[in-house]
Amino acid sequence: MTEVMNTVIRHFINIPIMFVSWFVFFITFDIGYFISSALALGVYFVSNFTIKKLQHRRIMKKHQLTHSEYFHIQQQLKEAKAKIRTLNSHYLKVRSFSSFKQLFDMNRLAKRIIALVKENPRKFYQVEKFFYAHLDSAVELTSKYTLLVSQPTKNQDLKIALADTRETLESMNSIMEDDLKDVLASDIEHLKMELDFAKLSVRKKEQPLYLEGESENERTTSKY
């Protein structure tokens, strides 16, 4: 279940609780409109906090993560999203279509990896290098490239530096493609197992049933 769906569920539960609380405070206890409203808001926040904790606990149990592991991964995801925003800020600074496409592909790969880890936090351990090194390098190199390309005059050394940076960014794209393959590896393996099981089930269903002691030759002969 996605974070958005969890948020929707929390609001779906908490808003009725808040309104019921307000009526209880205002009508039953007759403590005034503003105080009842403040208390109802307090009930809303407490209820929201409690349900959110229960949702986190369910996710941790599902993916067999400890409390510290889960919140460390959430922190890494938060930092990764901030780095993605930095990458996005460079779109208008690149000067060529090839550089724009390179940045677009890098952004797309990074967002896909983050989305997969967000959906299944345990996948974080399959792509730790992406969060600890590769994404940082991509942001740093892109920032360096946009800085160099914005210079009004470009001497030979600057042109060489730009070419080297473009080449390194191309390599970073390949590395991030490998990261995406790593994070999908367990899903692909699981899919292969399901396909093998499905094929085996189909073969068993198509295999004819024989009476005890009856062979395939006897079944064929009996048809004539």
The 3-state secondary structure of 103-125 reads: HHHHHHHHHHHHHHHHHCHHHHH
* H helix runs in the chain, sequence order: 3-23, 33-62, 67-88, 97-119, 128-129, 135-149, 156-206, 216-221
**In the chain, where the domains are located:** 1-62, 66-205
Q: Return all residues near 27 (Cβ < 8 A) that are at least 6 apart.
A: none
Residue 149 contacts residue 93 (beta carbons within 8 Å): yes
- Note the pTM of the prediction, 2 decimals: 0.71
Q: 């001497």: which residue's tokens?
A: 155
| Tens-level pLDDT at each residue, the chain (224 residues) | 567 788 888 888 989 999 999 888 888 888 888 998 999 999 999 999 999 888 888 888 888 889 899 999 999 999 999 999 999 888 888 878 888 888 899 999 999 999 999 989 999 999 999 999 999 999 999 998 888 888 877 788 888 888 898 899 899 999 999 999 988 887 776 666 667 667 766 776 666 655 555 555 555 555 54
Closest by CA position to 90, among listed 166, 167, 146: 146
